């Protein structure tokens, strides 16, 4: 059964000032699958996923051309409600970035900004999101302590849990394990595999093995271009492009 | 492993004889380092000496007149008897009033400049003007306050006019401290908040400002001392040499410690008594500034603890 398309990017060009950072990128992201973006530093993979929740809006002097359609909604349309879009498309960043508040306040933040006040309801959602992120047992006795007391790996799982609380449909991971040790990395990877049952996941990673382990589809990007996009097992076993093969075998990168 | 014999015969800090090590020699770099360090220590001592001697002189000369009566009673017999309570109260009102005006306005300006303003030429001119405002002599603020608040707005010589004048004087300091504090909030906090579907304003209110608050309070602390001690801005706008009692509204004129010191030292007929009282007032002013600053420091510390930074 062919998977359902969740997000469809068509001929995306992206400019930082005059620099063209993305060149004619078209790809489909499938629902309930993990799509990995790999490629050397500066190839535009982070820039691309930041277009999906319009995080690049924050950078002055940038411009995007082409269309990204999610469930029939044109993401870049000037009348698209960015706040609503970002509620549907959660994001986990390269460096764990919990707020300098308590664990519980971090978790409830997404609900409170959406105007939810019912304490029982908030608590219920917080606990269930922490459980989903496999963090509940680690923190259940210190929910009101500062989130900055947690280890790096726990902070990153907190950021994932914080993003789950608002029940997004898509989760974007921007090199989520870049600053973590191998054991924490494994936990995050297990979590991603668990989460794909309920969410559509896009992950940017430097680590080719990580892409092989967690993803269903892999896109290889180079210098702002999409070189090859296919099922992960095909990309890693029978890549069509020579450049993909050379990158995966470590000839450059 | 055993320690070879004879090793303890060495001079401390030298290699044993017969090893490849050389005798410790004094290099020019050692000397210049020692001299540099000495110079820095001397500078610190010098600075502390100044601070210490100010506190010592004020305290030793002022302590003599400090008494319960001095702190709680109104002046009598042309300032030479009684206390200075109305001046203490007046300075407190003026300082708190100035901060109540300058803090919200200054923080709001800083938020606009850091978070909303497009980085245009006009905004850079605004920034430059604010910085220049900090260099305007305080007596000019006093004249401005007199012309605008006392006359045009018709607030008269009053706590309100004085507080507003002092507040405007404190504004540049508060704005620049707040700007620095807001810019120091990591961009990753803003991104985290926006990515969760918060609006820009929610992000500012719930993430940026609480994180920046300790820095903003530092700006407040630095300005409280200046505002409480200024004489020129309140000269024509709020202060009076003598009142019978305490101010009963924001439209009352008040006594204030800095102006009271000035008056005691320049007017009156019994300079020997008045000088002692002036030192007493100076000591109280120091203590008052310290108390207001301490309150802000405690608040800042609490905020830091609750935000875990």
Q: Which residues of A touch B309 (CB under 8 A)?
A: 100, 148
Q: Which of A19, A29, A41, A38 is nearest to A200 (CA)?
A: A29
Can you give the pLDDT at residue B5?
Answer: 65
Quick one: average pLDDT of A228-251?
90
CA-nearest residue to B204 within chain A is: A113
Quick check: is B57 in a domain?
no
Quick one: average pLDDT of B24-34?
82
Quick one: average pLDDT of B134-153?
91
> B198 in contact with A at a CB cutoff of 8 Å?
yes
Q: Are B68 and B177 in contact (CB under 8 A)?
A: no
- Selected from 3.40.605.10, 1.20.1070.10, 3.40.50.300, 1.10.40.30, the CATH number assigned to the domain covering A5-248 reads 3.40.50.300
Containing H/E element for B282?
helix B271-306
With vertex at residue A123, the alpha carbon angle to CA A103 and CA A53, rounded to the nearest 5 degrees, is 65
Quick check: is B181 in a domain?
yes
Can you give the pLDDT at residue B267?
Answer: 81
Can you give the pLDDT at residue A223?
Answer: 92
Do B309 and A86 make contact, defined as CB atoms within 8 angstroms?
Answer: no
Do B189 and A99 make contact, defined as CB atoms within 8 angstroms?
Answer: yes
Neighbours of B73 (CB within 10 A): 15
pLDDT at B98 over 80: yes
Please provide the average confidence, as pLDDT, over all residues in chain B: 85
Q: Which residues of A238-249 are buried (b: 16+ CB within 10 A; e: fewer)?
A: ebeeeebbebbe
CA separation for the pair A144, A104 (Å, rounded): 6
CA-nearest residue to B188 within chain A is: A97
Quick check: is B52 in a domain?
no
Quick one: average pLDDT of A48-58?
93
Can you give the pLDDT at residue A212?
Answer: 92
Quick check: is B51 in a domain?
no
CA separation for the pair A60, A243 (Å, rounded): 33
- Cα distance from B201 to chain A (closest Cα, Å)? 10
Do B196 and A90 make contact, defined as CB atoms within 8 angstroms?
Answer: yes
Can you give the pLDDT at residue B20?
Answer: 61
Can you give the pLDDT at residue A253?
Answer: 63
Q: Which of A58, A67, A53, A52 is nearest to A16 (CA)?
A: A58
Contacts of B247 (CB under 8 A, 6+ apart): B86, B89, B90, B93, B159, B253, B254
Neighbours of A19 (CB within 10 A): 9
Percent of chain B beyond pLDDT 90?
37
- Cα distance from B127 to chain A (closest Cα, Å)? 20
Cα dist from A8 to A69, A225, B156, whole Å: 5, 16, 68
Q: Which residues of B touch A148 (CB under 8 A)?
A: 308-309
CA-nearest residue to A89 within chain B is: B195
pLDDT at B307 over 60: no
Q: Which residues of A181-210 are buried (b: 16+ CB within 10 A; e: fewer)?
A: eeebbebbbebbeebbeebbbbbbbbbbeb
Percent of chain A beyond pLDDT 90?
76
Can you give the pLDDT at residue B309?
Answer: 46
Do A109 and B193 make contact, defined as CB atoms within 8 angstroms?
Answer: yes
Quick check: is B18 in a domain?
no
CA-nearest residue to B309 within chain A is: A100
CATH number at residue B191: 1.10.3720.10
Residue B107, helix vs strand vs coil = helix
pLDDT at A56 over 50: yes
For residue B84, how far is the Cα from the chain centroid?
23
Containing H/E element for B127?
helix B121-133
Of the pLDDT bands very low, low, confident and very high (cuts 50, 70, 90), residue B40 is very high
pLDDT digits (tens, 9 = 90+) for A106-153: 999 999 998 888 999 999 999 999 998 889 999 999 999 999 999 999
Q: Are B182 and A72 in contact (CB under 8 A)?
A: no
**Surface-to-core class of residue B41, CB atoms within 10 Å of its CB (0-12 exposed, 13-18 middle, 19+ buried):** exposed
Q: How many CA atoms lie within 13 Å of B134's alpha carbon, on the beta-carbon side?
A: 15
Q: Which of B230, B81, B286, B153 is nearest to B239 (CA)?
A: B230
What ipTM does the predicted assembly reach?
A: 0.91
Q: Which long-range contacts (CB under 8 A, 24 or more apart) does B191-195 make?
A: B191/A55, B191/A58, B191/A91, B191/A93, B191/A97, B192/A93, B192/A97, B192/A98, B192/A99, B192/A159, B192/A162, B193/A99, B193/A109, B193/A113, B194/A55, B194/A58, B194/A86, B195/A53, B195/A55, B195/A86, B195/A90, B195/A91, B195/A93, B195/A163
Can you give the pLDDT at residue B235?
Answer: 87
Quick check: is B149 in a domain?
yes
Can you give the pLDDT at residue B19?
Answer: 64
The closest CB to that of A86, out of B188, B197, B307, belongs to: B197
Of the pLDDT bands very low, low, confident and very high (cuts 50, 70, 90), residue A219 is very high
Q: What is the 8-class DSSP label of residue A41? A: T
CA-nearest residue to A86 within chain B is: B197
pLDDT digits (tens, 9 = 90+) for A78-101: 899 999 999 999 999 999 999 999
Please provide the average confidence, as pLDDT, over all residues in chain A: 91
- Domain extent, residue B285, equals 85-306
Contacts of B155 (CB under 8 A, 6+ apart): B149, B161, B164, B251
Q: Are A30 and A6 in contact (CB under 8 A)?
A: yes
A103-112, A196-205, B59-68: least confidently modelled range: B59-68
- Cα distance from B106 to chain A (closest Cα, Å)? 24
Do B197 and A113 make contact, defined as CB atoms within 8 angstroms?
Answer: yes
pLDDT digits (tens, 9 = 90+) for B148-206: 999 899 888 889 999 999 999 999 999 999 999 999 999 999 999 999 999 999 999 99
Quick check: is B56 in a domain?
no
Q: Are B209 and B196 in contact (CB under 8 A)?
A: no
Can you give the pLDDT at residue A222?
Answer: 92
pLDDT digits (tens, 9 = 90+) for A152-182: 999 999 999 999 999 999 999 999 998 888 9
Of the pLDDT bands very low, low, confident and very high (cuts 50, 70, 90), residue B300 is confident
Can you give the pLDDT at residue B2?
Answer: 67
Can you give the pLDDT at residue A250?
Answer: 82
Can you give the pLDDT at residue B246?
Answer: 79
Quick one: average pLDDT of B3-9?
62
- Cα distance from A92 to chain B (closest Cα, Å)? 8
Can you give the pLDDT at residue B167?
Answer: 94
Best B118, B184, B192 residue to mutate vs chain A (most A CBs within 10 Å): B192
pLDDT at B24 over 70: no
Q: Which residues of B touch A91 (CB under 8 A)?
A: 191, 195
Q: Are A162 and A114 in contact (CB under 8 A)?
A: no
In A, residues 120-149, which contact B (CB 8 Å cutoff)?
146-149
Quick check: is B285 in a domain?
yes
Q: Where are the domains of chain A?
A: 5-248
Can you give the pLDDT at residue B210?
Answer: 92
Q: Are A215 and A36 in contact (CB under 8 A)?
A: yes
CA separation for the pair A66, B133 (Å, rounded): 48
Of the pLDDT bands very low, low, confident and very high (cuts 50, 70, 90), residue B239 is confident
Contacts of A78 (CB under 8 A, 6+ apart): none
Q: How many domains does chain B have?
A: 1
Q: What are residue A145's phi and psi, to 5 degrees?
A: -90, 165
Q: How many beta-carbon pairs under 8 angstroms link A with B?
A: 76
- Sheet with A217-222: list strands edge to edge: A89-92, A170-174, A200-204, A34-38, A217-222, A225-231
Q: Which residues of B touch A93 (CB under 8 A)?
A: 188, 191-192, 195
- Cα distance from A253 to chain B (closest Cα, Å)? 27
> B152 in contact with A at a CB cutoff of 8 Å?
no
Contacts of B137 (CB under 8 A, 6+ apart): B232
Quick one: average pLDDT of B249-256?
82
């Amino acid at each position: 059964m062919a998977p359902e398309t969740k997000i469809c990017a068509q001929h995306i060009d992206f400019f930082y000032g005059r620099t063209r950072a993305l060149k004619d990128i078209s790809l489909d992201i499938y629902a309930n699958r993990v799509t990995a973006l790999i490629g050397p530093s500066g190839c535009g993979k982070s820039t691309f996923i930041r277009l999906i929740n319009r995080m690049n809006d924050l950078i002055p002097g940038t411009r995007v051309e082409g269309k990204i359609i999610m469930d029939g909604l044109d993401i870049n349309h000037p009348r698209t409600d960015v706040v609503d879009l970002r509620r549907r498309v959660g994001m986990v960043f390269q460096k764990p970035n919990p707020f300098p508040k308590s664990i519980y306040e971090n978790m409830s933040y997404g609900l409170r900004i959406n105007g939810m006040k019912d304490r029982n309801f908030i608590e219920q959602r917080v606990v269930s999101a922490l459980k989903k992120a496999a963090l509940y047992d680690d923190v259940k006795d210190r929910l009101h302590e500062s989130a900055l007391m947690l280890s790096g790996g726990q902070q990153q799982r907190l950021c994932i849990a914080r993003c789950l609380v608002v029940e997004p449909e898509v989760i974007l991971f921007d090199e989520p394990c870049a600053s973590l040790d191998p054991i924490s990395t494994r936990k995050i990877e297990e979590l991603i595999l668990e989460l794909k049952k309920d969410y559509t996941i896009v992950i940017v990673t430097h680590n080719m093995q990580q892409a092989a382990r967690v993803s269903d589809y892999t896109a290889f990007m180079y210098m702002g271009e999409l070189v090859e996009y296919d099922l992960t097992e095909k990309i890693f076993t029978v890549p069509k492009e020579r450049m993909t093969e050379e990158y995966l075998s470590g000839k450059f990168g | 492993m055993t320690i070879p014999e004879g090793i303890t015969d060495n001079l401390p800090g030298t290699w044993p004889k017969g090893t490849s090590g050389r005798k410790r020699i004094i290099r020019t770099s050692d000397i210049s380092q020692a001299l540099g360090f000495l110079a820095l220590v001397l500078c610190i001592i010098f600075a502390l000496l100044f601070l210490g001697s100010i506190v010592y002189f004020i305290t030793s000369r002022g302590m003599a007149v400090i008494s319960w009566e001095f702190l709680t009673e109104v002046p009598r017999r042309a300032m030479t008897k009684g206390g200075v309570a109305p001046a203490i109260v007046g300075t407190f009102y003026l300082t708190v009033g100035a901060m109540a005006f300058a803090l919200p306005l200054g923080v709001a300006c800083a938020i606009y400049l850091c978070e909303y303003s497009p980085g245009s030429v006009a905004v850079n001119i605004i920034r430059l003007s604010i910085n220049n405002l900090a260099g305007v002599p305080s007596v000019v603020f006093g004249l401005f306050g007199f012309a605008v608040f006392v006359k045009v707005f018709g607030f008269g010589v009053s706590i309100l006019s004085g507080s507003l004048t002092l507040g405007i004087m404190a504004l540049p300091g508060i704005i620049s401290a707040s700007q620095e504090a807001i810019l120091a909030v990591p961009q990753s906090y803003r991104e985290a908040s926006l990515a969760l579907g918060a609006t820009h304003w929610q992000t500012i209110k719930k993430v940026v400002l609480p994180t920046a608050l300790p820095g903003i309070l530092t700006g407040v602390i630095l300005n409280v001392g200046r505002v409480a001690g200024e004489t020129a801005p309140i000269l024509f706008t709020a202060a009076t040499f003598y009142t019978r009692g305490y101010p009963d509204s924001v439209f009352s004129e008040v006594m204030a410690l800095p102006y009271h010191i000035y008056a005691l030292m320049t007017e009156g007929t019994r300079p020997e008594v008045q000088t002692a009282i002036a030192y007493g007032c100076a000591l109280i002013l120091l203590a008052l500034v310290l108390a207001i600053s301490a309150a802000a420091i405690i608040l800042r510390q609490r905020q830091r603890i609750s935000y875990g930074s």
